[in-house]
Amino acid sequence: MRKVRRNGVAMGLVLGFVLGFVLAGLFAGTPGAFAFGLLDEDYDYLVAQHIDRNKPPMLDLSPKERTRVHDLINDPRTADDPAKRDKNVRDELALFLGHQVWEKEHPGQLWDAPAR
């Protein structure tokens, strides 16, 4: 009986380790979903576009907005069309800047919250 119990415990531990590695692999395989910032390569791209990381709108971007900018910079659909990628990034940053300006003009409110 003891031998069966030890084998069961050992199998449980092995199964736990395997499951842990599988989950770790899934998380490691989806960096865009869990990264709340821009990579150094993204900032290099923005500098080339004359967009300063220490000035609005970059300074006040939320984690979700930073992820959106990262996704636009690295969008495979515009990899062969730099002009379209540049336009998409600039349009999105202009939208974020508009939201930031509105929020400063309306303290305590959010631009996407329903009117009270």
Its domain, for residue 15, covers 2-30
Residues 43 and 91 in one domain: yes
pLDDT of residue 20: 64
- Would you say residue 112 lies in a domain? no
Residues 25 and 48 both lie in one domain: no
In this prediction the pTM is 0.65
Same domain assignment for residues 24 and 45? no
Please report, for residues 31, 67, 70, the alpha-carbon distance to residue 39 in angstroms, rounded to integers and kept in the order given: 11, 10, 8
For residues 73 and 89, the answer to whether their CB atoms sit within 8 Å is yes
In a domain, 72, yes or no: yes
- How is residue 21 written in tokens? 């590695």
Q: What is the pLDDT of residues 28-87, one digit of tens each?
A: 444 444 446 799 999 999 999 999 999 999 988 999 999 999 999 999 999 999 999 999
Query: Is 26 in the same domain as 42?
Result: no
